[in-house]
């Protein structure tokens, strides 16, 4: 008779395939962000005739909604289960597609059209909280807490890969089939994703006392601050690399973003298992060191080639910061509050990306575009120092 102790353990490939089968919902969820991201600002500014501030707000309001809905999403995940949270999130994504389609129909009334876009983006931001955090919890429930780092790593690959694919896909769709095709395709994608999720087995809800979100936030705060400081480099490159290249009169700024994304994904694929072997803090220390060097290279770059090297190093270094510190953060709370922990920790990257744009923009206005990479490097260095402090504190706690 086979006992649980003697049952054959799944291979790494089997674990990875199980994880991928769940984080594909994150991939689908982030298509809702990626497909319209390169189209909506131009639609608001050129087609509706509204200002650039309004065009920017249409994009940024989604990140604000994600930030504010993290506590609510954590409660849904812990109380109703990860699968239901993902299903609700995917339904919200489809509803955002409905509002996008209605906005196109109301193009003759610009204020009504942009109001529909704002409502849809707010719904999408809240839905993204459910899908992203729910998929992480669902994946951990499927393969076990010992594979938390793998789940978070693949979830990140799914989200960044989806946005990289979604942006050019959205531009192509609008050019080929018109604006209405974007909303229609997102509605159909939502229906397909519901069918895929319905067939997937749920994981048991972990019962036990739920920690108040504010207490969970307090426990993961130092780890989240390390993540926030490390995320500034990504936000700076994503927002300002084109203007930085233009200030230097260099061509092919998009290649920097391509290299950043490629190195990000390659590092996660090649070195994601190091977190379980070496520990989250050690990996975070190494990664933030590489990211700091990459940002310093961008700051000092006097040729496009050195800038490309800096972007590659930054992407390579930033790749494992989220899962490395995330593993340590999630382990600080009981399993019954895991959803809240994932949501609270993820909140810090939302906050970082939301603040980086205006803050780095103000620095660029005062000191030039090159200075923003020194600012980002100093932030990454501060994240490195914080990670070293947390590592030493954890070693001291284990020795007592």
pLDDT tens digits, one per residue of 91-133: 999 999 999 999 989 989 989 998 999 999 899 989 988 998 8
Burial state string for 98-109 with b = 16 or more CB within 10 A and e = fewer than 16: bbbbbbbebeee
Q: Which fold has domain 213-399?
A: Growth Hormone; Chain: A; (1.20.1250)
- What's the token pair of residue 298? 């961008």
- Angle subtended at Cα 255 by Cα 121 and Cα 185, rounded to the nearest 5 degrees: 35
Mean pLDDT across the chain, nearest whole number?
84
DSSP character string of 213-238: HHHHHHHHHHHHHHHHHHHHHHHHHH
Which pLDDT value is given to residue 5? 47
Q: Do domains 12-198 and 213-399 have the same CATH topology?
A: yes
Q: Which residue has the higher pLDDT, 210 or 362?
A: 362
% of the chain surpassing 70 pLDDT: 94
What separation in angstroms does the CA of 65 have from each of 27, 57, 115, 215? 19, 12, 15, 22
Q: Would the pLDDT of 21 be above 80?
A: yes
CATH number for region 12-198: 1.20.1250.20
Q: Which residue has the higher pLDDT, 95 or 342?
A: 95
Which pLDDT value is given to residue 223? 94
Please state, in angstroms and rounded to a whole number, the distance separating the CA atoms of residues 142 and 202.
8
3-state DSSP helix/strand/coil % of the chain, to nearest 5: 85, 0, 15
Q: Would the pLDDT of 54 be above 90?
A: no
What confidence category does residue 1 fall into, taking pLDDT thresholds of 50, 70 and 90?
very low
Please state, in angstroms and rounded to a whole number, the distance separating the CA atoms of residues 1 and 199.
31
What separation in angstroms does the CA of 305 have from each of 8, 106, 216, 292, 301? 50, 46, 44, 18, 8
Query: Where do the domains of the chain lie?
Result: 12-198, 213-399
Which pLDDT value is given to residue 4? 44
Please state, in angstroms and rounded to a whole number, the distance separating the CA atoms of residues 275 and 155.
15
Which pLDDT value is given to residue 208? 62
Q: Which residue has the higher pLDDT, 320 or 52?
A: 320
What confidence category does residue 400 fall into, taking pLDDT thresholds of 50, 70 and 90?
low
Please state, in angstroms and rounded to a whole number, the distance separating the CA atoms of residues 390 and 327.
13
Please state, in angstroms and rounded to a whole number, the distance separating the CA atoms of residues 311 and 207.
44
Which pLDDT value is given to residue 56? 63
Burial state string for 182-205 with b = 16 or more CB within 10 A and e = fewer than 16: bbbbbbebbeebeeebeebeebeb
């Amino acid at each position: 008779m086979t006992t649980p102790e003697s049952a054959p353990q799944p291979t790494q490939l089997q674990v990875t395939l199980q994880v991928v089968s769940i984080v594909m919902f994150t991939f689908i969820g982030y298509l809702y962000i990626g497909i319209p991201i390169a189209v909506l600002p131009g639609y608001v500014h050129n087609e509706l005739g509204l200002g650039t501030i309004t065009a920017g707000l249409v994009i940024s309001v989604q990140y604000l909604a994600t930030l504010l809905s993290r506590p609510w999403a954590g409660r849904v995940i812990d109380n109703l289960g990860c699968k239901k949270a993902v299903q609700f999130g995917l339904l919200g994504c489809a509803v955002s597609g409905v509002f996008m389609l209605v906005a196109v129909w109301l193009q003759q009334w610009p204020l009504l059209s942009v109001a529909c876009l704002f409502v849809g983006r707010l719904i999408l931001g809240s839905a993204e909280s459910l899908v992203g955090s729910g998929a992480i919890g669902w994946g951990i429930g499927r393969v076990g807490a010992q594979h938390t780092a793998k789940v978070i790593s693949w979830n990140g690959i799914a989200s960044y890969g989806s946005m990289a694919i979604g942006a050019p896909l959205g531009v192509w769709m609008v050019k080929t089939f018109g604006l209405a095709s974007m909303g229609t395709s997102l509605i159909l994608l939502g229906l397909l994703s519901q069918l895929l999720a319905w067939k997937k087995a749920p994981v048991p809800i972990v019962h036990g006392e739920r920690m108040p979100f504010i207490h969970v936030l307090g426990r993961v705060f130092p780890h989240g601050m390390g993540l926030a400081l490390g995320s500034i480099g990504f936000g700076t490159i994503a927002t300002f690399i084109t203007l930085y290249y233009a200030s230097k009169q260099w061509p092919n700024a998009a290649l920097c973003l391509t290299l950043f994304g490629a190195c990000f994904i390659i590092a996660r694929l090649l070195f994601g298992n190091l977190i379980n072997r070496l520990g989250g803090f050690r990996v975070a220390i190494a990664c933030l060191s590489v990211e700091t060097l990459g940002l310093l290279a961008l700051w000092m770059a006097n040729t496009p080639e050195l800038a490309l090297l800096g972007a590659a190093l930054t992407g390579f270094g930033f790749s494992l910061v989220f899962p490395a510190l995330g593993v340590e953060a999630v382990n600080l709370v009981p399993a019954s509050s895991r959803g809240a922990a994932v949501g609270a920790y993820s909140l810090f990257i939302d906050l970082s990306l939301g603040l980086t744009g205006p803050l780095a923009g103000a620095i660029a206005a005062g000191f030039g575009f090159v200075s923003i990479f020194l600012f980002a490097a100093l932030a990454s260095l501060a994240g490195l120092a914080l990670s070293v402090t947390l590592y030493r504190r954890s070693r001291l706690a284990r020795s007592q």
